[in-house]
Each structure stands twice: as structure tokens, then as C-alpha cells.
Structure 1
Amino acid sequence: MKKQDNKLQGARLALPMLAVAASLAACGGGNGGSAESAVTYTAGSVFQVGTTSFDPNLPPEPTLPSESAVCATLEASNNLVSRPDGSLPPEADPSKSGVGVAVDPATANPDQARIQAALDACGALVDSEVGAKIASADAAATAAQVAAAKPNVNIAGVSGEELAKPQYRASKYAVRLVVNSKGPGNGFITGPLTLPSGVTLWIDKGVTMYATRDAKAFAPNLNGPYCANTAVSASKAGSSGNCLPLIGGNNLVNSAVMGDGRIDSRAYAEIVTTDKLYPLMKVDMTCSNTYTSYAAGKQAADGTSCDNGGTVVDSKSSARNMTWWDLAYLGNMVQNGTTGYGSQSNFRMMVFNYAKNLTLYRITLNNSANFHVVPSGVDGLTVWGVKVQTPSLAAFANPAGNGNPLYTGEVYNEDNVKNTDAFDPGSASKRLDDYLTTGSKSKSATKMAFDGYLKNFVFAYNYVSTGDDDMAFKGSNNPSPAGSGLLAIDGKRDVRSDRKYGMVVAHNHIYWGHGISVGSETNAGVTNVEVYDNSFWRSEEGLRIKSDYARGGEVSNIRYENICIKDALNGLLFTPYYSTKALPANGPLFPNFHDITMNNVRIMGKTTVKLQGFQANTGGYSNPQYPLVMTMNNVVADDPSAINVISSDAKLTIKGVNLPLVATADNRNVINGVPTKAVDPNKVVDCSKAFVDFPAIGASNYFGSTWDSQR
């Protein structure tokens, strides 16, 4: 297994390619361009993906806090010791199924109160030391921006770049979770936590923070919204928004989650409740109570229709309770397909809204019940050296499932761990003036401004394997005033002086999952994104842009460079026909993908390449054609005959491309240039060291010592 540099740094040194002149042989098809006699490479060395050690185009690597910066250190209880597979033993927090049965809060959720108390105390210290400085800087910046305001431009207040300076960071700002100093304890079990502004949650090496299995913890309000269901009425689907996230934070400055430990949401494990009346679904599709009776403090009689997606209340059922992934599969794959309204009310691992400087660093994330990390409206979002592996080995060791954890009897795979996106960064829905969150029940004294944009985003040196999107830019919300003409995500907006690009995805290793994506929501627009030096190994998708005319919009100036893709189901997937989601009331939103560039992309193994624009007059609407406008330079397959190409409504400019692209009137393709077999993949990009085993991180490593040996 390849050993990575300790600093987890790599580089895009923009090394040009070895000068060669190769005679061309047409690869078939293709028209609309003149034949070429040679492919020319720029003098220099072929770029080697996944091996460099420094990137001058990125900001400095984050660092862990110093010992002196720690507000509080919490030791794990010796009652919680992770098994070698990464799970907790059944006796650590026992399951109890059935009607009128509750688990003990002391074992189901022993650590939430003390972790939150430490975070709150640390947040208060941070606010007392630097809160006034932050407020003063924001007031001055806001006043200057108002004085110089242009129409339709959001007021951002003080920039994240300014707030990154030392004077805005408190001397003590971290809460550290550590192994027990006198015993084997290395686990914490917690319910939802609020991350205060300026505070770092530091999960130390060897420590795992587990999510409680108590559904009530994620839905504390008696009258809803209710968590752990697939429907909340006979006609209304469930939603992750019904649940509190495991870690949440709004209106933050200089907050972080980091360390060499793990967070495991345990979506593979049976859901329980500390309230005997809280309704849960069981794998035989019955339920333990109804929300109507629960809100009234009563137990519904057997045979009463469920209102959580199940059938009827059954006190005699001996079936186990659902797991979070049972609910996800049931809601998305079964009920949604038959009724159109099914969806899971599962909690997300992390949700952050409106922040300036938010960092995830070196932490390992496993087994989220829904999306892992959902940050919206962040100026200065850094995800660096993070590992996401879902499902992990702990999921396969789930005692309740006996090796077949889903209620269907299936073993976990990439198709049935639904909606476990790793990272879904996006803009927020509007500009905001609000108080900073200084604790779970406290706010700052003064409001500050957030413009709602996603800006200065770095996604670098990460290892990701999950059941859905590995990373997806969500262009669904636009905080810009109407008529501004601004796109929601723009990599050229307010780029900081310590980096070259405002939106970067670089030096990552992607395994299972849907690859690096834009969409599916593109209605508010995404532009100016740099994606370089990434590898995709046995992923479902590699490079992807997806939308449809229920949520379409402009996607432009997306640049891919120095990419290695091996044994992917869909190496390249660009489609405006992502789903048949119902159209909005005001009519269709047409996807428009243009000015997309690929340089030095190598595809190894059998795969599908789908390149589609949006056809004119689609769905009975009088819309123009929105072709996929893409330039492809040195995009090659080691074996072009192993590439299945699906293409329509595309306007492609190609050079040094050996994919079997064909321009015909039937599929409305225009190809400027001619495919060639003469290009040598080894002189396009070096993939010899791009594909490495998922890093050995103990129990989180899916199959133990290597990634490849048992795939």
C-alpha cells in the first residue's frame, strides 16, 4: 500500500507534456472538423497523478490546535471500547424492540450533555476574548460596503480572509476528546451537538464518537417535526430536515472539526428510543405507535394505521426495529417508486449554514444515516485530509443484521446505502444578518453580515468512498437579489490572496460513489470550478454534471485536468436528464452546460461515457437546444473499444482524443476535430501511482489491510 506524505500535501505543478509527434489514424466517425496529421505535446514531463507534495496554488494546510489552545479535555468512558471492526459490542448500548419499550438514556446517550457543556463553555470564552473584535471589524466593513454599494450586490460584511488573522482567534478554542488515561475506553456516544463560533471539536487519534441510536434525540419536540420515518402523513414524504444533525452550526466564524479520530453515525444499527411512546417502524413494516397518539401522550391500539410510512400498529410483532439505512432504502427505492411520496427522515452527520472559515481536517467520517457534510453559504470552506468510508467494516459486523443488515436481506453495497453523499457544499438561500452562535443556547451581542455565497472552497487530499455523491456542488440556492445576473456558485468571486482559485477540487482519491459532481440542483448556477490531479478507482461515476428540467440552470467554465479514471461504471457522465422529478409550478428550468474543458484525462478499463446536451422542444415545451459545449484535449482511453459512448446534442471540440465519438444528424452532435488512435495514453498523463489502497485507518478500512484484495 502506498504510504502518503505525513502532511497530506500534493501539488499541481502544471507540468507540461512530453514533446512527441505521433502519426494519426482515424478512430472512426467524427465530422465537422478537418483531419489532423499529428498530435503535438508540449515539451516537459508527463504529469504523475497522486504523488506530488506541495501545491503553490492552494492556501496553507490547516493545523491541529496546540495543547495550550485546549479549553477542555474529555476522556472516553471505559464502558465504551470499540471492537476491531469499528463497532461497539451489543452490551455497550443494548437494543430493545417492541411496543412500549424504551432503552436507558444512561447507555443510549451517555456523553451528549458533557460534550455540549464543554463546547458551550469554550464558545463563551471565545466570545469574551474576540467577539467584540469580530463585531467591530464587521461593522466597519459593512459600513464601507453600504457606502459603496452597487445595485443587486450583497453586503458581505467583514471577509473570511480578514477574520482568518490571529487577532480574531481566541487563545483557547478547542474541545478535545481523548482515550481514557486509565483504561481501554476509546468511544463516546452522543446525540446532536451544536458547534459554537470560534470553537474546534478535536477528536483525537484512537477515539470514535458514535451517534446515539435514540431517535428521540434527533426529534426532541413533542409536536414534531418527527425523525426516523419514511412519511409524516398519508401524502407527505419524510425529510432529513425533520431531524437535527449530529453536529450542527449556524452563523460561525473560525470553527472546525478535526483530529485523527473517527465519527461513526451507525446508520447500520437498529434504531431505538428512550421514550416508550415514540413511534418506530419495524422490519415487518408495522409500527410501534402513531405520531397522533404520541403527541397526546397515548399508545395507539393494535391495528391503527401508521402515519410514519408503516402499515399498522402491532404490539405482538417480534420483528426488530428498522435501521436508518432500512428507512433510506424503503423510502427512496420502494415507497417513492410506488407512491411518489416516500423519502427518509434520517439525520445528517454535519449541517452548517452561514460561516466564515469552516474547516474539516484529518477526521474520518463513517456510516452517515443521510448526507455526511452539508455546508451552505460559507466563505472559506476547507476540507483537507479527510477520509470518508461508508459503509465501513463496522456496518458488516452489525449484530442486528447478522451479515444481511438491510430489511430486504441484502448485504450492503453501493446501490442500497442510499443518500449517503459525502460532501454537498452550496450557497445559502439568502443574505443574512444575524447573531453568531456562541453556544447551544447563547448568541453574540451584535449581529454580523453573511452574503450567503459559497466562496474560497478547497477540497484537497481527501479519500472518499460512499454510497452516493463523493462531492457535489449544489447550485440550488441563490442569495443574490433578483435581477442581479449572478450565479450562486462562482469560483471567481472574492478569491483570497493566499490562493489562485476560489473553487478547487484537487489531489483527491475517490473510490465507491458518484464521483466529483455538479448538481443535481443547478437552477441557481455554478461557474468557474477547477478540478485537477484526482483519481477515480472503481467508482460508479468519475467526472459528472447532472441536472434536469425540474432544477436546471447554467453550468459553465468547469475545468478538469490531469485525471485518472480506472474501472468506473460511468467514467464521464454529463446529462441534463438526471431524473423525472416533477416540474416547478412556474414551468421548466432548462439545463445549460457550456464552456466545459477537459485536459489530460485518462480512462482505464471498460466504462460508459455519456455526453448529452438538452434537446430542443423537450417534453412538449418550445425550448431551444442547449448543447453540451465542451473542449476535450488529450482525453484518452487505454482501450477505446472498451468505451461505450452515449452522446446527443453535444458540440465538442477535440484534439488528441481516441474515444469513439461520432457526429450524426440523428443525435444532433457537432464534432470539431477527428478522433485518433495514434495518441499514446502514457504520454497524456501518468496513472501508474494514482490508484492506491484506501489508507489503513484501523477499523474504518473496509476490508482490513487492503482496498483491492477482496473487491
Structure 2
Amino acid sequence: MTNNGDMWYPTKEGAENDRLRPIEVSIASSKNVLIDGPTFKNSPNFAFNPKNINNLIIRNLKIENEYYAQNGDAIDLSSCKNAIVYHCTVHAGDDGICMKSSGTTEKGTAGLENIIIAENVVYHAHGGFVVGSNTDAGMNNIWVTNCNFINTDIGIRIKSNKGRGGLVHNIFIDHIFMHDILNEAILFSSYYGDGAPGAVNKVSDDKTPLFQDFHMSDIYCNNAKTAISIIGLPDAQVNHLYFKDIKISAQKAVYMTEASDIDLKNVTIISPDKTVYNLTNTKNISH
């Protein structure tokens, strides 16, 4: 147990964690699953966590977790294939709609692939649409469209680090509407849990995160702290990102570290920052 002021929280480490803070609903190693219309509330850990499902439809689902809920993720898809998350409403104590992928896969395949996330609303979450932090089995072919993120800590949150990373590619995100985002409207981070770039990474160099071939268009955000932040690794830069028809108002503009081949077309950043694009070890930017 850990103490935070007048409240005690069960820690995540150790065997006691499974007993004290179970996932509210988990379906594993199944196929042809339909979840239509339930409401899940006040989960002690993740609210809904499908694992290793082939052919999955989640629609009209409501998650109602308090914002202070520890690790209170709403919908976490873990190593699923051929899945749709449609018309769901989320209040989360951690990530809202999150993609995870761990374990081993056949050569040339991804642990999580062929996913559609459409017409969802996320309130009060650490991230609206989230990738990671576990991406070591890879992710491929995800389409996120027509979603609203309101009062989330981060809007679009892509995160991993060495020891948990893999190839995440062919991601398409469009027609996203965000309002009052506490931190970044769009964030890529290859140092999740490791501190700032340049920090000593205590894990091995295997399972390196690689984010590439992301296509983002028709994204609008009113009021964020930072418009776009991209933080890659020196040996695995975030690369081949395509931004088109994007308008974001934010206190801080765009910051890129260890990134390459970034294409920006009709991207408008409304910010008091004197420098719109702040680049460190970043190359091949077209604007």
C-alpha cells in the first residue's frame, strides 16, 4: 500500500495486486464477440479489457469511472484483431480508448491489427485515443474517426519505451474534435515512464518502440497546453508522420525531438509562442 495524503492506494506490484484491484470485465482468447449496450462503473482497475479476441464488436458501451481512479482505464484492447469500437461514451480515471499489444506473433504479423474506432466521446481521461505503453507485439492498420475528446489530459496519446516497444504503423486518425485539453493535443513519446530524453534507460535495448506511417487529418482542438509534441529515440526516430487540415489553439506550439520525414499540409497553430516549430535532432520537415 502507498499513502498519498489522507488516502491509501493499493500498489501495482506483487501478487496482492490481483486480489485488491482486479479488472472489472475481461474476455480472453475468444472469437466472434459482440458487446452491445452495457454500462460499467467504478472499476478497481481497467474497466473493460478484451484480450486476444478475433472478430470483436464493442458498441454503445458506457464507462463511468471517477477521474481520480488509479489505473482506471476505460476500454483497453490487448492483442485483438478485426475489432470495432463504435458509439461509446467514456469517463475514465486513466486512458480512455487504449490499444495494447504484447507477446509473440508470427513473423510478419502484428499482435493488434485491423481496428476501427469510430464515433466515440471521451471525457476526463489521461488520453482520448491511446497507443501503448505495451506495443512490443506490434500494431498495424488502425483507423480512428469522428471522435470527441473533452477535458482529457492528452488528446491523441502515442506512448512506449524500450523494453515495451515494437513497430506501430499504418495508423489513420481523422475528424477528431477536442476541447480543453490539459496538456498535449497530440503526443508521441518513446520515453514513457523513463523521464525526459537523455535520461538513463534502466531497461534493455530490445523491444524498441518505433512509430511510423501515421496519417492525421481534419483534427481540431480548442485550447490545449501544447499543440503537438513528438519525442523519439536517437536510434529509432518517430518518422513518416503526415498531418493535413489541422487547427489547434494552444499555449505552446509544436515541439519535435528525434523525428524525421514529417509532412504538414494546411496545419494552423494558434499560439502565443514566438516560434511555432521547435526542432531538436529533427530532419526532413515539409510545411
Q: Do both share a fold (TM > 0.5)?
A: yes
Partner residue, 2:198: none
The aligned runs of 1:624-635 (5 Å cut-off) are: 624-635=235-246
Partner residue, 2:121: 509
Deviation string for 1:584-609 (max 9, x for gaps)? 5xx43211100001011011013223
Equivalent-residue separation in structure 1 for 2:142 and 2:131 (angstroms): 10
For residue 643 of structure 1, report the CA deviation from its aligned partner.
3.6
Partner residue, 1:364: 39
Residues 467, 557 of structure 1: alpha-carbon distance in 2 compared, 3 angstrom cutoff:
same
The aligned runs of 1:320-469 (5 Å cut-off) are: 326-328=8-10, 331=11, 345-391=20-66, 414=67, 416-427=68-79, 454-469=80-95
Equivalent-residue separation in structure 2 for 1:342 and 1:609 (angstroms): 40
**Corresponding residue to 2:277 among 644, 662, 676:** 662
Partner residue, 1:548: 161
Does the 8 Å contact 1:426/1:477 carry over to 2?
no
Equivalent-residue separation in structure 2 for 1:613 and 1:342 (angstroms): 35
For residue 625 of structure 1, report the CA deviation from its aligned partner.
3.8
Deviation string for 1:133-158 (max 9, x for gaps)? xxxxxxxxxxxxxxxxxxxxxxxxxx
Partner residue, 2:96: 470
**Corresponding residue to 1:611 among 226, 229, 241:** 229
**Corresponding residue to 1:522 among 123, 129, 135:** 135
Partner residue, 1:650: 259
Partner residue, 1:636: 247
Does the 8 Å contact 1:613/1:628 carry over to 2?
no
Q: Secondary structure of the equivalent of 2:46?
A: coil
Equivalent-residue separation in structure 2 for 1:478 and 1:635 (angstroms): 36
Equivalent-residue separation in structure 1 for 2:258 and 2:268 (angstroms): 20
Does the 8 Å contact 1:347/1:369 carry over to 2?
yes
- RMSD value over aligned CA atoms? 2.7
Equivalent-residue separation in structure 1 for 2:276 and 2:231 (angstroms): 15
For residue 645 of structure 1, report the CA deviation from its aligned partner.
3.0
Q: Secondary structure of the equivalent of 2:77?
A: coil
Name the % identity: 24
Partner residue, 1:487: 110
Q: What letter matches 1:650 in structure 2?
A: A
Query: Using CA pairs below 8 Å that are at least 6 residues apart, which structure has the higher relative contact order?
Result: 1
- Point out the structure with the larger strand share: 2
Q: What letter matches 1:420 in structure 2?
A: G
Does the 8 Å contact 2:188/2:232 carry over to 1?
no
Residues 423, 582 of structure 1: alpha-carbon distance in 2 compared, 3 angstrom cutoff:
farther
Q: Which has the larger radius of gyration?
A: 1
For residue 626 of structure 1, report the CA deviation from its aligned partner.
2.3
The aligned runs of 1:257-268 (5 Å cut-off) are: none
Equivalent-residue separation in structure 2 for 1:603 and 1:541 (angstroms): 11
Equivalent-residue separation in structure 2 for 1:649 and 1:658 (angstroms): 22
For residue 382 of structure 1, report the CA deviation from its aligned partner.
1.2
For residue 610 of structure 1, report the CA deviation from its aligned partner.
4.2
Equivalent-residue separation in structure 1 for 2:38 and 2:176 (angstroms): 25
Residues 611, 417 of structure 1: alpha-carbon distance in 2 compared, 3 angstrom cutoff:
same
For residue 538 of structure 1, report the CA deviation from its aligned partner.
0.7
Partner residue, 2:191: 577
**Corresponding residue to 1:592 among 187, 210, 226:** 210
Partner residue, 1:159: none
Partner residue, 2:197: none
Does the 8 Å contact 2:104/2:111 carry over to 1?
yes
Question: Which consecutive unaligned segments of at least 5 residues does structure 1 have?
Answer: 1-229, 232-282, 284-321, 392-413, 428-453, 492-502, 617-623, 675-711
User: TM-score by structure 2 length?
Assistant: 0.85
Does the 8 Å contact 2:254/2:278 carry over to 1?
no
**Corresponding residue to 1:562 among 152, 175, 179:** 175
Q: Secondary structure of the equivalent of 2:268?
A: coil
Equivalent-residue separation in structure 2 for 1:419 and 1:625 (angstroms): 28
Equivalent-residue separation in structure 2 for 1:343 and 1:644 (angstroms): 40
Equivalent-residue separation in structure 1 for 2:26 and 2:131 (angstroms): 19
Residues 656, 509 of structure 1: alpha-carbon distance in 2 compared, 3 angstrom cutoff:
same
The aligned runs of 1:37-436 (5 Å cut-off) are: 230=1, 326-328=8-10, 331=11, 345-391=20-66, 414=67, 416-427=68-79
Q: What letter matches 1:565 in structure 2?
A: M
Equivalent-residue separation in structure 1 for 2:213 and 2:131 (angstroms): 14
Does the 8 Å contact 1:461/1:506 carry over to 2?
yes
